[in-house]
Amino acid sequence: MDPNIPDIIFIFVLAIFVGIEVISKVPSMLHTPLMSGTNAIHGIILFGGILVLADADSTLTQALGFVAVVFGSANVFGGFMVTDRMLQMFKKKKK
Task: Report the site for other proteins in 13-72 (rule: CB under 8 A).
Answer: 15-20, 22-56, 61-62, 64-72
| Least separation in angstroms between CB 13 and other proteins | 9
> Is residue 91 involved in binding other proteins (CB under 8 A)?
yes
Size (the chain), residues: 95
DSSP, collapsed to helix, strand or coil, labels residue 92 as coil
Cβ distance 66 to 23 under 8 Å? no
Amino acid identity of residue 36, one-letter, is S
Q: Which of residues 71-90 bind other proteins (CB under 8 A)?
A: 71-90
Give the count of residues interacting with other proteins (CB under 8 A): 80
| Least separation in angstroms between CB 90 and other proteins | 5
| Least separation in angstroms between CB 95 and other proteins | 10
Rg of the Cα trace of the chain? 18
Distance CA(91)–CA(68), nearest Å, equals 35
